Structure 1
């Protein structure tokens, strides 16, 4: 009876010791077995693991790809145009021993702090070697790859692999936005003034060409009109000469009628003469026309 009473507690104690020597690793984790701070076992496969009770402990780490957003960082590219940059990194733990030695008991919290410093230094180094136009362009993939590669090399000492780095925001500092907008506005106004000047110059050329064309066409028309008028006058004189040669009295009669018609047009000059003037004596007037002719 006494022996049974002794065996039961011993069995319970042994069971407790056996259970304390077991540990479970989740498929999303990796584990280290430590003895007095020294790594004694690495458990990377999911499932049960064994450790020495009381003197060994198990520390687990996330085996998934983790993310790390950076705080807004001010950088100065080659053209001394300051920019504010946000980024985030994707990383994972690949060497548990290095990771433990580098961060100690701080684990992922210390790792994120040190990786944040590595990313900031890589961002400053890469973006500081190019002009701001390259940073603000739509295609920043080469720059992000350079930041990733530089961060990967530095983070390898921590047992960390930097999988990817992305620039999420690249803007001007708030205090520089107003000056930048003013400069952009001035540039656009200058371009508009240049366009207006070129348009005015082109309009002036078109206007001058049109005026020249008008003068040329008008001169040519006047020239043709004078030629036609001269030819008509010559023809009229020829007809008048022939008519005079055939019937001088009829010619004098038509000339008198023409003179009366011209002198009596509305709005013509006033005629001041004496009552016994030749103008009112048709026979004498015809004789004077004949003598003039």
Structure 2
């Protein structure tokens, strides 16, 4: 019993030591075995791994594609139209040993800070070499590819591969929005004024054409009326001439009656004539004929 009691603690220590010498690497990660801070083994394949208990330690790193949002930064394109760019990147740890040497015990957080600095620098440089219209257009995939390619070399020194870089949003700075809106409003008002001016010009042309057409129609109508009136007068004179030829006395009587009708109106009741005027010959005659006939 005494011997068994002595062996149980030793057995427990052996079991604990053996278990601490074994570690498991998940398929989603890679592991490094460190001895006094120095890398002695890289465990890239999933499964069991072994280390020296108490002397060596295991550090694990995610082997999946990771995302990193870059804080919004202000860029100045070639046309000096400042923009605020919001981007994100996808990256993956490809060389865990180099990654450990580059970031030390800082791990992923330290690497993300380094990536932020690299991506922000490359984003400012690339977007500063083009115009704002190129950045705001739908064909900006080439710009994102240029940023990625420019950042790949620097990221390789960290043992990291940058898989993709995307511009999520591109806006004007808040202080420039009012000026931009005012410029857009002025441009729209100018376009509206141009449209109104063109409309007024077209309206003037239509009115001028309508006035000319009106004058032409009235002139033609007056010409036709004068022609018709002339023909009617000629026909009337012809009838008068025929009537005068057939009955001269009746024609003179008819003309005298028309003259009386025109002369003896309500607003012209006073007339100054000599006593022997021939105007009232038909009125002085009992037979309705001029005196002396």
Preserved contact between residue 91 and residue 161 of structure 2 (Cα < 8 Å):
yes
Cα deviation code 1:4-57 (max 9, x no counterpart): 555433322222221110112223221111122222222223222111112211
List aligned pairs for 1:11-30, cutoff 5 A: 11-30=11-30
Shift of 1:205: 1.3
Preserved contact between residue 32 and residue 59 of structure 1 (Cα < 8 Å):
yes
Preserved contact between residue 24 and residue 49 of structure 1 (Cα < 8 Å):
yes
Name the CA distance, whole Å, in 1 between partners of 2:52 and 2:203. 96
Shift of 1:281: 4.7
Alignment correspondent of 2:31: 31
Deviates more, 1:43-52 or 1:92-101: 43-52
Say which SS state the counterpart of residue 58 (structure 1) adopts: strand
Shift of 1:138: 3.5
Say which SS state the counterpart of residue 71 (structure 2) adopts: coil
Residue 215 (structure 2) pairs with residue 215 (structure 1): yes
Residue 201 (structure 2) pairs with residue 201 (structure 1): yes
Name the CA distance, whole Å, in 2 between partners of 1:197 and 1:219. 33
List aligned pairs for 1:100-249, cutoff 5 A: 100-249=100-249
Cα deviation code 1:152-200 (max 9, x no counterpart): 2321221111122221221111111111111111111111111111111
Preserved contact between residue 281 and residue 289 of structure 2 (Cα < 8 Å):
no
Name the CA distance, whole Å, in 1 between partners of 2:184 and 2:85. 21
Say which SS state the counterpart of residue 71 (structure 1) adopts: strand
Alignment correspondent of 2:268: 270
The alpha-carbon distance between structure 1 residues 34 and 273, as it changes in their structure 2 partners (threshold 3 A), is same
Cα deviation code 1:81-139 (max 9, x no counterpart): 11111111111111111111111110001000000011101211121111111222234
Deviates more, 1:50-59 or 1:146-155: 146-155
Name the CA distance, whole Å, in 1 between partners of 2:130 and 2:51. 53
Preserved contact between residue 84 and residue 170 of structure 2 (Cα < 8 Å):
yes
Preserved contact between residue 253 and residue 282 of structure 2 (Cα < 8 Å):
no
Deviates more, 1:65-74 or 1:7-16: 7-16
Preserved contact between residue 278 and residue 284 of structure 1 (Cα < 8 Å):
no
The alpha-carbon distance between structure 1 residues 104 and 287, as it changes in their structure 2 partners (threshold 3 A), is farther
Instruction: Identify unmatched segments of 5+ residues in structure 2.
Output: none
Name the CA distance, whole Å, in 2 between partners of 1:264 and 1:159. 127
Shift of 1:69: 0.8
Alignment correspondent of 1:52: 52
Shift of 1:287: 6.8
The alpha-carbon distance between structure 1 residues 282 and 179, as it changes in their structure 2 partners (threshold 3 A), is same
Alignment correspondent of 1:83: 83
Name the CA distance, whole Å, in 2 between partners of 1:123 and 1:257. 111
The alpha-carbon distance between structure 1 residues 265 and 163, as it changes in their structure 2 partners (threshold 3 A), is farther
